[in-house]
């Protein structure tokens, strides 16, 4: 690529996984009054040959930046009773080695571009999806090429090493503790069933903590493949 990217692009790549892969059903609204939201006309969208959807929008701010998102339609609701907390653990493992980047190489690359881990490079896991986020300078095509390679690895090329899993186990457990054992967390956990419905009532947060402390890499690999996250 020889063109310089003078304007920011926002790219959201949605990994659309069929609900049957997860053994769950969709809860789409059936009301006749339901009207789908129309797509912003500024967004260019389509589907790649491998089935992955993409969305691209040009923005003037932030200046000289490209923001990318990999949106995986798989979150903690897809976990079985013996898998609680693993979706979040897989998210963390994405920064600890892949086919093209070893251990902390992804973080080191972003820091070399002037970006910061946490602010410009991050991810989160929710009930229904896992989202990987990154931002790079727009004036170097090589940065974009490498960032797209990182997205590819996040979608289908993660490596799982027991040593790295053991390092992340404590980090994820501590995030679990900070989210669930304070007052706001306990209130939220009590409110979810009433506000969001029956599936959220079935979440056993205490079992999640125990499973995170015991799970081995073979279990994570089996869960990763079972949930179809690697089917790109």
Record the tokens describing residue 138, joined without a space. 């727009």
Whether residue 88 contacts residue 76, with contact meaning beta carbons closer than 8 Å, is answered with: yes
Q: How far apart are CA 90 and CA 223, in angstroms?
A: 9
DSSP code for 52: -
Q: Note the Cα 59 to chain centre separation in Å.
A: 23
Q: How far apart are CA 46 and CA 230, in angstroms?
A: 20
Whether residue 158 contacts residue 224, with contact meaning beta carbons closer than 8 Å, is answered with: yes
Which candidate in 91, 135, 164, 168 is catalytic?
Answer: 91
Q: Is 91 in the active site?
A: yes
Helix H segments across the chain? 86-93, 105-112, 141-156, 162-180, 183-196, 198-201, 205-214, 217-226
DSSP code for 137: E
Number of neighbours of residue 135 by Cβ within 10 angstroms: 22
Annotated catalytic residues are 91
């Amino acid at each position: 690529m020889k063109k310089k990217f003078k304007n920011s692009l926002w790219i959201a790549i949605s990994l659309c996984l069929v609900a049957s892969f997860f053994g769950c059903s969709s809860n789409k609204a059936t009301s006749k009054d339901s009207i789908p939201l129309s797509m912003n006309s500024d967004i260019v969208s389509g589907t790649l040959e491998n089935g992955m959807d993409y969305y691209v929008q040009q923005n003037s701010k932030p200046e000289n930046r490209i923001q990318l998102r990999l949106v995986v339609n798989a979150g903690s609701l897809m976990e079985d009773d013996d898998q609680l907390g693993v979706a979040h653990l897989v998210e963390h493992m994405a920064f600890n080695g892949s086919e093209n980047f070893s251990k902390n190489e992804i973080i080191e690359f972003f820091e070399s571009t002037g970006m910061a881990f946490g602010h410009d490079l991050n991810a989160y896991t929710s009930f229904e999806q896992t989202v990987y986020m990154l931002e790079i300078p727009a004036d170097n095509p090589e940065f974009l090429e490498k960032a797209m390679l990182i997205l590819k690895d996040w979608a289908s090329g993660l490596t799982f090493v027991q040593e790295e899993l053991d390092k992340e186990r404590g980090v994820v457990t501590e995030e679990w503790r900070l989210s669930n054992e304070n007052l706001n967390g306990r209130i939220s956990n009590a409110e979810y069933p009433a506000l969001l419905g029956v599936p959220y009532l079935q979440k056993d947060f205490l079992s999640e903590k125990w499973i995170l402390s015991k799970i081995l890499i073979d279990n994570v690999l089996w869960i990763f493949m079972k949930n179809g996250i690697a089917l790109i």
